[in-house]
Amino acid sequence: MCVKSKPLYDALPFLEHIDRDRQEQFENYFQSAPLWLLDAFQIEELPKGEIFIREGDVADTIFFIGKGIIEATDYRVYGTPYDFMQFDRVYAFGGMEFLMDLEYYMTTLHTVTDCTVVRLPREKFEKWLYSDIRALKQESKLVSEYLLKESRNSRLFLFLEGADRLALLLVERYEKYNKQGLLHVKGNRQNLADETGLCLKSVSRGVKKFQEENLITKEGNQIFINREQYEGLKKIVSQKIDLG
């Protein structure tokens, strides 16, 4: 476990007011960051629903999410927005473009909730990674893990249809976002449709099926999943694919 760094907390005072898990993510990520890098941080508050990275824009800034959740959107398929990944952890958005020597952002990112964002000029980020092999290796590992997960999920979805595809999404969300064994499924059915590639009708059928089988709990429009329900959903998916 990393020890709290006073220079880091001085540069990012909001760290004192977020959960310990995300504090540790920042501490680990910037474990070897020099003072000149911390001095280059800019903190910005973004409201819910704001696009702060657009695909095709010059990738001259690196972003880190201090508080809140953001989502990636792809507009390339017939101009229809497709929300394919939510992030609520510490990643360097713009870091992939740096590693791949890309001049422009490759995706669009917007806030799902109100967010506290840390901005860092790309030239400062590059200078740090070029001079710090630990930081460069760490960033390469995070980007590789993300790309591997995306390609793996794409392959898995090829073999799943309807409710099974929805079950996989709920299993993955539970594993990433449950709090003390309970997951609150954020977003509406359109969000679930966007993430699974299913139509709204298929999502509604899947939700109804899982509710009738006590694999999810509905309170109004809210969906919750406990540990026992997660195990049931995971069993459904495991009958079709090897989750590893």
Let me know whether 114 and 173 are in one domain: no
Let me know whether 106 and 11 are in one domain: yes
pLDDT of residue 142: 87
pLDDT of residue 80: 43
Domain boundary among the residues 156, 189, 215 is at: 156
User: How does the average pLDDT of the chain come out, rounded?
Assistant: 86
Let me know whether 165 and 151 are in one domain: no
pLDDT of residue 126: 97
Report d(CA 162, CA 237) in Å as an integer.
12
Domain count for the chain: 2
Per-residue exposure over 93-103, b if at least 16 CB sit within 10 Å of its own CB, e if not: bbbbbbeeeee
Let me know whether 88 and 199 are in one domain: no
Predicted confidence band of residue 139 (pLDDT cuts 50, 70, 90): very high
Let me know whether 145 and 178 are in one domain: no
CATH number of the domain where residue 14 is located: 2.60.120.10
For residue 16, tell me if it sits in a domain: yes
Q: What is the pTM of this model?
A: 0.68
Predicted confidence band of residue 36 (pLDDT cuts 50, 70, 90): very high
Domain boundary among the residues 156, 172, 199 is at: 156
Span 218-240, average pLDDT: 89
Q: Which residue segment(s) compose the domain that 32 sits in? A: 6-156
Domain boundary among the residues 124, 156, 188 is at: 156
Let me know whether 11 and 81 are in one domain: yes
pLDDT in tens, 78-123: 444 444 455 656 889 999 999 999 999 988 999 988 999 999 999 9
Report d(CA 121, CA 61) in Å as an integer.
5
CB contact at 8 A, 9 and 20:
no
Let me know whether 86 and 166 are in one domain: no
